[in-house]
């Protein structure tokens, strides 16, 4: 599981107006244009891509607000 894979999912499902490749790993994805609706699509795509399920406790904005935050959540779930 890499941040590059996370970026690819974001690129396909995040509906960003900005170029996702130009965003820092700690950049706020919501400020970059990701909507709440898009974040649900991103979450579902991440679950498919990494064969995992985000528990209810992780279904909050802070878990999906940056590539670093998503990476940390997935690492916790796959540890």
How many CB atoms neighbour CB 67 within 10 A?
Answer: 20
| pTM, two decimal places | 0.93
pLDDT in tens, 40-72: 999 999 999 999 999 999 999 999 999 999 999
Alpha-carbon span 5 to 47, nearest angstrom: 12
Alpha-carbon span 76 to 38, nearest angstrom: 23
How many CB atoms neighbour CB 18 within 10 A?
Answer: 14
- Mean pLDDT score of the chain: 95
> In the chain, where are the structural domains located?
3-78
22 vs 1, residue with greater confidence: 22
Mean local confidence (pLDDT), 25-44? 95
CATH of domain 3-78: 1.10.1200.10
What's the pLDDT score for residue 11? 95
């Amino acid at each position: 599981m890499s941040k590059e894979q996370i970026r690819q999912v974001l690129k396909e499902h995040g509906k960003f107006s900005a170029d996702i490749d130009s965003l820092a790993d700690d950049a706020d994805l919501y400020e970059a244009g990701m909507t709440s609706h898009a974040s649900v699509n991103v979450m579902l795509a991440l679950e498919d891509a990494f064969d995992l399920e985000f528990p209810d406790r992780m279904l909050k904005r802070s878990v999906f607000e940056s590539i670093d935050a998503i990476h940390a959540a997935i690492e916790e779930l796959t540890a």
